[in-house]
Amino acid sequence: MAKRFGGKYSPEETGADTGDSVLYRSARVDPAGARANLMFLPAALVLFTSLVSGAAGLALGVASAGVLALSAWLLREGLRAEAAYDARKVARRPGIPRKLFSSVLAGAGIAIAAYKVEPGLVAPVIFGAVTTALHVFSFGLDPMRDKGMEGIDQFQTDRVARAVDKAEAYLQGMSEAVRRAGDRQAEDRVERFQARVREMLRTIENDPRDLTTARKYLTVYLMGARDATVKFADIYAHSRDARARNDYLGLLSDLEENFKSKTRALLSDDTTDLDIEIEVLRDRLKREGIRPASPESHSEER
């Protein structure tokens, strides 16, 4: 059985809870993978082949390459927006249908390239329509409806959506800052802390009522964590100060434990609310003279 490497010369702490299960549950692969990145290749090919096509051909080639590059960029952003939508149980559809725009622009870019080779209307329209259809078939369309908002107070869901977006912005700022420090262990600890925070975010999305008690964690604490990460990165990138590093890692451990405890408290409150609802329903059924069927009655019916 494989084991985690550890020992005298290992940079990781040993004998402590590494939080691997949390990282596993919250692991996210960048949805803008190889397929999306390959969509930049047609733009480069069109631009390269247009260098020897004369002035008019070069102008059309540059226009086609620019449209295709914009299409590829929109595709990457659309895939990431779709992944964020899928990761949440309560989410609004993306405000801008990036994947749809990407498909249309891909068709337009190929149509311009086709016109450069074969001037006219028929060939560009055919190539553009086929490209758009193939793009939609390969990457699909954007989510077109809100998710998980049926029967939920619109005002509460809006508050939760804004709070989650703001928290994610703080987490993104931490990731960008800690990379400047150039310390792999610090990056891993930030990822582990972010996994704990996202557990709380999913809990709040499941029950928007939890936002009131957790707001301080999503604003004050996360803002402080981001600012501390920025200061640590600025100091450690130049001085490699071991004391600053240890203090920062200790701060992340304390924050992670606080978020873990708060998330457990929120889940415990949700369970208590469910128990209360069950008891209320049982009391109401008793008052109305309704009794659950006994096992003996089921056996007699059979």
- pLDDT tens readout for residues 161-205: 788 888 888 888 888 888 888 888 888 888 898 888 888 888 887
User: Is residue 202 within 8 Å of 182, Cβ to Cβ?
Assistant: no
Q: Are residues 89 and 58 in the same domain?
A: yes
pLDDT on residue 57: 87
| 226 is a domain residue | yes
Which of 68, 67, 72, 65 minimizes the C-alpha distance to 49? 65
Residue 259: pLDDT band with limits 50, 70, 90? confident
Give the burial class of 111: count Cβ atoms within 10 A of its Cβ; 0-12 exposed, 13-18 middle, 19 or more buried: buried
Task: Pick the more confident residue, 201 or 279.
Answer: 201
Q: Are residues 123 and 227 in the same domain?
A: no
Q: Are residues 135 and 158 in the same domain?
A: no
Task: Pick the more confident residue, 84 or 57.
Answer: 57
What integer best gives the mean pLDDT of the chain? Answer: 78
| 146 is a domain residue | no
| 55 is a domain residue | yes
Q: Are residues 126 and 86 in the same domain?
A: yes
**What percent of the chain is predicted at pLDDT more than 90?**
17
| 250 is a domain residue | yes
Give the predicted TM-score (pTM) of the model.
0.56
What is the dihedral sign for C-alpha 82, 73, 229, 237? positive
Q: Are residues 159 and 270 in the same domain?
A: yes
User: What total of structural domains would you count in the chain?
Assistant: 2
Residue-number span of the structural domain to which 77 is assigned = 30-139
Domain boundary at 111, 139, 167, which? 139
Q: Are residues 53 and 123 in the same domain?
A: yes
Three-state DSSP state, 173: helix
What torsion, rounded to 10 degrees, do the Cα atoms 39, 44, 47, 48 define? -140
Q: Is the pLDDT of residue 14 over 70?
A: no
Q: Tokens for 235?
A: 């100091």
Query: For 281-290, what is the mean pLDDT?
Result: 61
Query: pLDDT by residue (tens digit) across 123-153?
Result: 999 999 999 999 999 888 888 877 765 655 5
Contacts of 194 (CB under 8 A, 6+ apart): 26, 171, 174, 175
Q: Are residues 276 and 178 in the same domain?
A: yes
